Structure 1
Amino acid sequence: VPELRALVGEVAAEQLEQSSASHDPRGVSAALRVCFTRLMKSEKKAFVDQLNTLVQRISREAADGQDTSGSNGDLLLRLHAQFPGDIGCFAVYFLNLVRLEPGEAMFLAANEPHAYLQGDCVECMACSDNTVRAGLTPKFIDVLTLCEMLNYTPAPSSSKIFPAVQSPLDPSVFLYDPPVPDFTLIRIEIPSSIKLYLVSALDSASILLVLRGTAVATSTAAASEMSLRRGSVLFVSANESLSLRLASPDGMLLFRACCLL
């Protein structure tokens, strides 16, 4: 992408190409840091001019029927339409493009940049006292902190995706257990054939989110019955179970965030 190359500089671009060609992970990491930092520290006029040039070139190629996938053309044009002149549009050349199918999950460790492009997902975060932005936002971007804190270790997108594990005790329960102790996500998919379901007690408190279906819930801690539908959120105390009386013909889909102790 010549427009990006003009912003990061020829020397930095060649360093990244050479490190990639020699399969040197540490060299690639160092080169990525230099390239990304130079991009983010570009003068606004410089990156806006190069971005406009890139958008015009991709638009012409697309209009002529050329394949622009090598430049992530469709994604670039969509992002630029949503955030015109935003330096984050160049991030498509530093990040993996991942499409998650229903039921799939991915884990992003601290200091790993990411962006949600479209669709809905259930997200859990560890306790954090900061959010550092890189682009695609009208909010403040702390460039110095961003460039210093990021993890530049290259990795394929497949290394970030991990499958759900079905519970051997309950076929309706699927566990997403990331490699950190901070949180776990549980998918509860109750088939239409089940009309009464018990949400088991856990050693920790949890948050229950309803994505599909309706039910009436009761528990020993609740003073009265609770009606659940899409969008309902419940706080479930530690060691508290929940009894669901399903009222929908297509079952229920719930997600439960907790900390397995």
Structure 2
Amino acid sequence: MGTHPRGDARILDSRLPQKTLGQWIAENQDSLGPKVKEAFQGRLPFLFKVLSVDTALSIQAHPDKALAEKLHRQAPQHYPDANHKPEMAIALTPFQGLCGFRPVEEILTFLAKVPEFLFLIGDDAAAQLRQSLGQGPRVVGAALQSCFSRLMRSEKAAVARQLSLLVGRLSQQGAAGSLEDACGELLLQLHRQYPGDVGCFAIYFLNPLTLQPGEAMFLEANVPHAYLRGDCVECMACSDNTVRAGLTPKFLDVPTLCAMLSYTPGPGRDRLFAPTQSAQDPCLALFDPPVPDFTVMKVEVPGSVEEYQLLALDSASILLVVQGMATASTPSAPEVIPLRKGSVLFISARESVSLRLAAEGLLLFRACCLL
């Protein structure tokens, strides 16, 4: 849901001459709001998505603006725009992912317990990581980069051999009911989906994180991550730039990924991003990350409310209905608009929208740009 050239949203109202949202905004610039129009050169600055993940998505990160511009110049076929891509995922169901580097102590534990992992990293890089404990962040980051790069640059044959040994051992443990931890189960799951893929070993570097419905994680530039399973609402800057290095048949750019990552270890809970509850509206919570491109509002209206007035914003916004039914009315629409699960509504800046609810209540997410 947005205006990126690779996925410009279609307009369903056949009475309008424009067929896509991008075309309509280009001819109705005031719909963005004056601040957004000026700050983002007349373009909608965000993309809004719903992801339903069954098979794990790639080990990846997104570039900052400077790197995005460089990658777009060098390889536009792989990096189709010059924008950064910070993003936020808000869980709709229990949502599993990998996010950011684990604390070094956890990685060292896996190096001690998983000989196949140690084989690919190498004793020298593992020793460097062990010796970095208690040192400053620069020393720790350099040691972590050395280990991660060693893994991701391993020869395919060596990766396949070590994975085969590890999968065989874990499968035997599982059959005997002695599988030690959830990491073993996760590795077997990823190997079934991507047999022989080096990304399977990334679980020993990256934090596993399960978001419960309504919880969120924010991913700034250069943070390694992968989405594993579940449903979420995702909002991001208007970009399609992704640097991948595993768990995918798509283009891999291992040198760029290893060079760009933020090698800052820490617990997975540090990636949780809490909303701010509105003091004026008990139905409204704001997920407002530290980037200008987007904010997401969660609107949860109980069934006891018959009519609900959406805030008129100084920004264009996109409204998504996740649960419930309602009719929307606004001075700019000639008739009421029926809304149900899956309905998507573009709302111009400063536009007033009133919702009349059905009995079961309503759950909405609304992406906007609050400058």
Query: TM-score band, normalised by the shorter chain?
Result: over 0.9
Determine the structure 2 residue equivalent to 1:258. Answer: 368
CA distance in 1: counterparts of 2:208 and 2:135, whole angstroms: 21
Aligned-residue offset at 1:62: 1.8
8 Å Cα contact 1:25-1:154 kept in structure 2: no
Distance in 1, Cα, partners of 2:277 & 2:240 = 33
Could you tell me which residue of structure 2 aligns to residue 243 of structure 1? 354
Cα shift readout 1:54-92 (whole Å, capped 9, x = no counterpart): 1111111222222421x7101111111111111111110
User: Secondary structure, in 3 states, of the residue corresponding to 1:115?
Assistant: strand
After TM superposition, the structure 1 = structure 2 runs for residues 2-17 of structure 1, keeping only pairs within 5 Å, are: 2-17=115-130
Amino acid at match of 1:87: V
Report the aligned-residue RMSD.
1.4
Partner of 1:121: 232
Q: Does 1:228 align with 2:339?
A: yes
- Aligned 1:2-81 pairs, distance under 5 A: 2-20=115-133, 22=134, 24-69=136-181, 72-81=183-192
Tell me the CA shift for residue 124 of structure 1.
0.8
Give the SS at the match of 1:133.
strand
Name 2:21's counterpart in structure 1: none
* More deviation, 156-165/2-11: 156-165
TM normalised by structure 2 equals 0.67
Distance in 1 of aligned mates of 2:259 and 2:135: 24
- The residue aligned with 1:215 is 326
* Structure 1 residue 240 displacement after superposition: 0.7
- Structure 2: runs of 5+ lacking an equivalent: 1-113
Kindly indicate which of the two structures has a greater share of residues assigned to strand.
2
Write out per-residue CA displacement over residues 12-58 of structure 1, whole angstroms, 9 at most, x where no aligned residue: 011112323x3643322111111111111111111111111111111
- Higher relative CO (Cα under 8 Å, sequence separation at least 6) belongs to 2
Shift of residue 129, structure 1, vs aligned partner:
5.1
1:215–1:227 contact (8 Å) kept in structure 2: yes
Q: Structure 2 CA distance, aligned partners of 1:174 and 1:129?
A: 27
Give the structure-1-normalised TM-score: 0.95
State the distance in 2 between where 1:146 and 1:46 align: 21
Counterpart of 1:202 in 2: which secondary structure? Answer: coil
Separation in 2 of the partners of 1:209 and 1:151?
Answer: 33
1:148-163 to 2 correspondences below 5 Å: 148-163=259-274
Q: CA deviation at 1:202?
A: 0.3
Identity of aligned residues (%): 61
Instruction: Give the C-alpha shift of residue 181 in structure 1.
Output: 1.7
Q: Which amino acid aligns with 2:312?
A: A
Partner of 1:190: 301
Distance 1:155 1:234 in 2: 39
Distance 2:220 2:176 in 1: 41
Distance 1:187 1:144 in 2: 38
User: Is the CA contact 2:170–2:179 (under 8 Å) kept in the aligned structure 1?
Assistant: no
Runs (4+) off by over 3 Å:
none
State the distance in 2 between where 1:223 and 1:27 align: 63
Confirm or deny: 8 A CA contact 2:144 2:263 kept in the other structure: yes
